[in-house]
Each structure stands twice: as C-alpha cells, then as structure tokens.
Amino acid sequence: MAMFLIVGCQTIEAQLPEETKPEETKSVAKVDKVDTDNKPNPLADDEIPEGILLQSHKPILCGRMDSMLNRVKENYGETPVVFGHAENTSQFTGETIHTMVTLTYNSETRTYTFFEQLPTDDRIICILSGGKAKFKLEVSGIRS
C-alpha cells in the first residue's frame, strides 16, 4: 500500500473550465440554518466528544469517470497511481456500500486529485480532494 503525506490542499473548482462547474440550483425545501454566532467553526470553543460524527457540507464536483480522469490528465498531467475499493456503511439502511477510489498524481509538479465513485452510479466519480502532495518514499517502500 502506498503511503503519502499531504503537504497542502486546495479547492480546485476555480481552476476548472466553466463547463465543469456545478450549475446553481434553486432550493426545493427550506432548511433552517443553525445559529453559529457567525463563527466559521461553531465547535471552536467546545470540547468535541470522542466518537462524535459530524456531517460535512463541503461542496464536491462529480462527473463521468472518463471525462474527469481525462480532464486531470490534460490540465494537470496527473495519471492514476492508486486504485482501491472502499467499504462504507449507509447511515440510512445500515447496508454495506462498495465504491472505487482513485488517486491521480503528477510526480513532476506533485499535484494530486483524490476521487471516489458515486455509490448510486458507478459511472460517476467525485473529487474529494486535490492539491500538492509528497510521497514519503521511505515509509511506502517505493524506491526512486
């Protein structure tokens, strides 16, 4: 298993061409906003209990697998270096959900993109993270 150290992370939405950015949609249901006292982190002053699970509202970009992988190859020179399978448990049904994960990497620029397949449609993958990374070769056993 390859191990790597993430040196930095960046949101890549602003770097993608206009046609890949998500369309703005109108909400179909009103969701009450949690009062955060205008804090960027509403838990900053609280102890976070062990075992707590928080749901993120991080926006992610998804698209056809072939288009997404071709785009990072063309725009960033990244090619897949890791393919894997992830097992997740649905918080709604308790059933096990299997997805594919892919890590693309450009060893010259050290940029990476981490993808995960959409559980409901295996033709769609989503960007979970992207940025710069450095492989820790002495940990992973990879020799240069």
Angle 128-129-135 (CA atoms, 0-180°, nearest 5)? 130
pLDDT digits (tens, 9 = 90+) for 116-131: 998 888 899 999 999 9
Asked if the structure places residue 77 within a domain, the reply is yes
Quick check: 102 and 68 in contact, CB under 8 A?
Answer: no
pLDDT band at 7 (very low <50, low <70, confident <90, very high): very low
Asked if the structure places residue 122 within a domain, the reply is yes
Domain limits for position 98: 60-138
Asked if the structure places residue 88 within a domain, the reply is yes
pLDDT at residue 137 in the model: 64
CA distance 89 to 105: 28
Q: How many domains does the chain have?
A: 1
Asked if the structure places residue 83 within a domain, the reply is yes
pLDDT band at 72 (very low <50, low <70, confident <90, very high): very high
Asked if the structure places residue 44 within a domain, the reply is no
pLDDT at residue 142 in the model: 60
pLDDT digits (tens, 9 = 90+) for 87-102: 988 878 889 989 999 9
